[in-house]
Structure 1
């Protein structure tokens, strides 16, 4: 019997890459205090560089699995959002909205200096609004971070993600309108997706807590139930061509308001959540094509500086109004640096739903995404440490 060697390589690619990523993540976190997700991204980039067979194309269902992984993180982020805090301190909500709008406007204006098409500039601006919940939440959990800066970063990250999805869906609607002239199709591609995604997430957020209370499910089983609910939500979103990321974030916010208690031990969805996070960051990095990274270096550097500067300036300027200090505002703005995982999955999801410019934008932003993925979590980690809100002890 002759072994099909190429098929064997494809079959072994993912287990081997994930094992290497896990090992390096643990060792570099122990030796150099690097965020584990940074090591995962580095391994994914190297695997992409050597063109390891079967890493992104040969195995079916990888985009769905990546969306499940990010949806679990977005549910956790949504669960940590306290809506009553916005009522007690509306300046935080106003800060998040104003900072999102200014980031969009500034990035759109600066990208015009590089003679990019209008559609591409709009997409880049919409993506630049977002902060990566995957990078921020995992770093915060890893460092056991808690405090005013951490809470502001999480709440502002959620606002950024909501506005980014809204902006991107409106851009997609504008693209459909400009290419086909069909106003109904444009509205269906934006408003319908946004409203239905929020509605489905909110409905599940109301129904699941009621189910848990009626069945008297033990505390240790709550995590499993919510994980299955997120998988169901992602599957529904794929089938209905909705936004699983927006639905999962809404699900978490509503579940929190329905007073479902999750213990600290369940944060991150345990071992399954850790493995999915490991896969997510390796997969996202492997999507980037090294042949495209060489181009757009200047554009990537300029956009990174502009995006971070806008977030920092807004947070520093509004620090006193929102009950904080300028130093904490600076650290909050810096901690919002990561954006790649959320942005890349938004683009991939849009491409799968027929949005043609998505692939072109990923090519233009390849260099920016690499830097943000590698160094964004590190900036978040250092900012939270500088705020003295981390509670990790060496064993």
Structure 2
């Protein structure tokens, strides 16, 4: 039951439009799917206390606990204690997801089914992308296209789609696709999906991310270049190095483009500056969880006035909310994830580590994804893979 619940939860990650709001936190379908999953994981922990102890003492879980500890004082120092208490509750939920997922995946077959569940959800999302693109080609002003498209937002209007599909915005969809691409490549490498299916998924992931018109495309391409370098650096060192250098070049170019493309050419840069100034007001512990990192007002090309409250940079978002203590703790978590690149020695562990680091450190250059359910759920897959590998070698 528990492995099936994990697969269902991971498949549901493609549905991320809020269906309710609690304390300023948008509730999405995966949050509902997480409830039975958590109950089944607790049951598994009671039945296998030794496995629970092994997971609880894992370096990744210790790093998660340190990150949580860095946030515990936030409501005390916050300029809005109610908002911080609500946000702290959501952080406890998010940081608990990796442990819940790992507890529910006791063996390799369960892990395989979980990965297939994730990719099954991705396949549904990509099928919806075909519908979205077809709707745009048929009638850009039609109701179906408008339901699946974000509109230009801060970009200049033009004859192009900007798909968000079942996500709240295009950037979150592109973030999810960037996490998924290395997982597809790893699943093909270990025989969990066929070569033809993997090629089709990767091609459609790229097309769909392109149709999102999002700077997160750089993270997706970087993850794939990094993966190719890890896999082929021994037998094809020149090609592997070229792929990695090209991926780095894409990140640099996209970072520059993301800084100047929005409607007001400086709006993203202004958000970064405002977040930095927010951090300077409370450098050690930040202004508080749930407190808006910025409040930048700008006008879109079609004349609509907006207020930007997101830092559009994960490090700056963390600094503004939880200070240098929170950012350092999250950095330590990324370091422990990076250690899996050395310790795993298997395609799945490496792909998961690549996706997670890229999703935070590279995609985080132009977006704030610290609350991404997909990111924390994927960390659970990495934790499960690491615990299983350690158990098989002892």
TM-score, L = length of structure 1: 0.29
